[in-house]
Structure 1
Amino acid sequence: MDLEIRHLQLVHNIITLGSLSKCADAMNITQPAASHLLKKLETHIGIPVFNRVGKKMILTNAGTVLLNTAKELLPRLDLCKELLVNEIQGDNGSIKISTECVTSYNWFPSLLSSFEKKHPNVDIGIDVEATGNPIKSLLEGKIDLAIVIDPIKNKNLLYHELFRDEILLVVPDGHYLQEKKYVTSKHFLNENYFMYTEDFENNTVAKKILIPSNITPKKVSKLQLTDAIIEMVDAGRGVTTMSNWLLKPYLVNKQLKSVRITKNGLFRKWYIATLVDTTNKYKTEFITYFQSEFN
């Protein structure tokens, strides 16, 4: 048998409010409509829900089962409605985010904290496991937002531009390339190139400059931490490439030099990617907040 929510509401209201007329008022229906609904329920289940003793309505065993079920389910439904309203209006919710570039962890956790102070009812989580390929996790519904550099065309995705940065070659003081106005792919040929522990073909410089020129550095060394890479370069063990904002503090404290890559420079754009059909108030505000901070 199929029971409806209004059947549970009917039984619950009759008992808690004390009469069929008050129950009808609470359900915004007429008393005859409430009586008809009760009769239809009893006909549907095949046994009485109430015994009528004078003007009193006393629950049968079947009615007690319905009342107990109503007491359990109706509060849950009310909570569900409240959560859905809050989700739509942006009063509370959760956002799971990840990035395809490990260097993002140098700046976006502090922005997350700032956003959470303004929106204390929005819980933000970082999915570290999705780092490296957040678009895949986004499309699979594992995360809500992805910070990416290279947009992948997909009808299910929207990209919201954040900022643009420049990638620079980093060499130790005294390196022969430090006096160059800019370097090209050929200048990587005899170098030990330090990079993060990602696939070579996913490295921005490799993807945009080296691979198209069919150039492979003499040696490629992979390290996980920015500080470790900087120390190696500072010690004269090789060269690396790094975004201008990430490199800036190291140029002050280390004997390092930076050189532009190609005559016009090597620039990239950062985006926040979302699924097309998953917009709500607080996610929109999150994207707007990030964009305003960078602008």
Structure 2
Amino acid sequence: MIDRHHLKIVRAIETHGTMTEAANALFLTQSALSHAMKKVEKDFGVPLWRKEGRRLVLTQAGKSLLNLAQRVLPQFEHTEAQLRRMAEGKQGTLRIGMECNPCFEWLLKVVAPFLKAYPDVDVDVKRAVTFGGLQALHGYDIDILLTPDPLELPSISYKGVFDYEQVLVMNAQHPLTQYDIIEPEYLAHETLITYPVEESRLDIFSHFLHPANRTVKQHRQIETTEIILQMVAAGRGVTALPKWLIEESKDYANLAYRSLGKQGVQKTLYLGYRKEDDPFQLVDAFIQLASQP
């Protein structure tokens, strides 16, 4: 019989790698940890790990158990946290993951009225550059995913909350300002500055350059919107960002933008959330605020 205790042990072994560190993390003795897992191995007749020096490496059977642990344990922990908040008369924290770096400024406009309307609720925002957004949502690490590129899953719903155009941004005196629209071949000799993500997730590549079999002279990556805009304003390259963000930028006087192609690159910002999993109705309340013009 597999129980939650066994799942925690397997996850700890995978995380820490040794019996000693896993036992310490779980506040168990090594003998108690070993005894618990030997019983599972005996019940099913398969080894769960093998030793490689001091480290423990999961077998195929152990990895199957780990896969179950990674899917089930976050749901246990999420529900337990909800129950504790209910017992304390609190509503807790709304956790938001972002897969849209420049949309942080848009998000702030929704967070402010939400915090005012729900004084007993905190908001935590994670930028999805360092984690898988959809995986985090499905695994109960976040409650809402902010993304311009929704991926369909049976357990996840999406609500479109904001339409915008992705435009090419340049210094106000850049030679490309002579054009009313930008064609892919115009960027052949340009330095393109983007966020540090793979090309397949960047609209200017996936929706503009790649379909035309074109690319840029140089591709540079910078983590923050502010530095990207300062680099562009200084004439160090061009970038692609939402038009509304440029119009609200403090550097707007030093910047210019043009549409990417005749139709432009049109995008919608979505909020993804788990279906039928909103006991405090916080997700629904946040989406309603975000959907207001």
What is the TM-score normalised by the length of structure 1?
A: 0.65
1:289 maps onto 2:289 in alignment: yes
1:228 is matched by which residue type in structure 2? I
Question: What is the aligned partner in structure 2 of residue 274 from structure 1?
Answer: 273
The letter for the 1-side match of 2:202 is N
Give the C-alpha shift of residue 148 in structure 1.
0.6
Partners of 2:167 and 2:265 within 8 A in 1: yes
Aligned to 1:228: 227
3-state DSSP of counterpart to 1:208? helix
- Rounded Cα–Cα distance in structure 1 between residues aligned with 2:130 and 2:162: 19
Matches within 5 A, 1:109-120: 109-120=108-119
Kindly name which structure, 1 or 2, has the bigger radius of gyration based on alpha carbons: 1
Deviation string, structure 1 residues 83-127 (Cα, Å, up to 9, x no partner): 1797xxxx7243111110121222313422321111112232223
| Gap change, CA 1:228 and 1:179, over 3 Å in 2 | same
Match of 2:56 in 1: none
Q: In the alignment, residue 287 of structure 1 is paired with which amino acid?
A: I
* Displacement of 1:277: 2.7
Q: Distance in 2 between matches of 1:260 and 1:132?
A: 31
Residue 81 of structure 1, CA deviation:
9.2
Matches within 5 A, 1:1-295: 83=86, 92-128=91-127, 133-250=132-249, 253-280=252-279, 281-292=281-292, 295=293
CA distance in 1 between partners of 2:249 and 2:147 (Å)? 24
Q: Retained in 2: the 8 A contact 1:93–1:121?
A: yes
Percentage identity across paired residues of the two chains: 23
Shift of 1:136: 1.6
Q: Distance in 2 between matches of 1:82 and 1:152?
A: 31
TM-score by length of 2: 0.65
Over 3 Å counting, the alpha-carbon distance change for 1:229 and 1:130 in structure 2 is: closer
- Identify unmatched segments of 5+ residues in structure 2: 1-81
Between the two proteins, the alignment pairs up a number of residues equal to 211
Give, as a single letter, the amino acid of the residue that structure 2 aligns with 1:290: A
Gaps of 5+ in 1: 1-78
What do the CA deviations read for 1:236-281 (whole angstroms, capped 9, x no partner)? Answer: 2221111111111347654222111110111100010011231342
Cα deviation code 1:150-190 (max 9, x no counterpart): 11121111001111011111122332221212112211211
Q: Deviations over 1:50-100 (max 9, x none)?
A: xxxxxxxxxxxxxxxxxxxxxxxxxxxxx95991797xxxx7243111110
For the residue of structure 1 that corresponds to 2:248, the secondary structure is helix
Indicate the SS of the match to 1:142.
coil
The question of whether the paired residues in 2 share the 8 Å contact of 1:98 and 1:130 is answered with: no
Q: CA RMSD in A?
A: 2.5
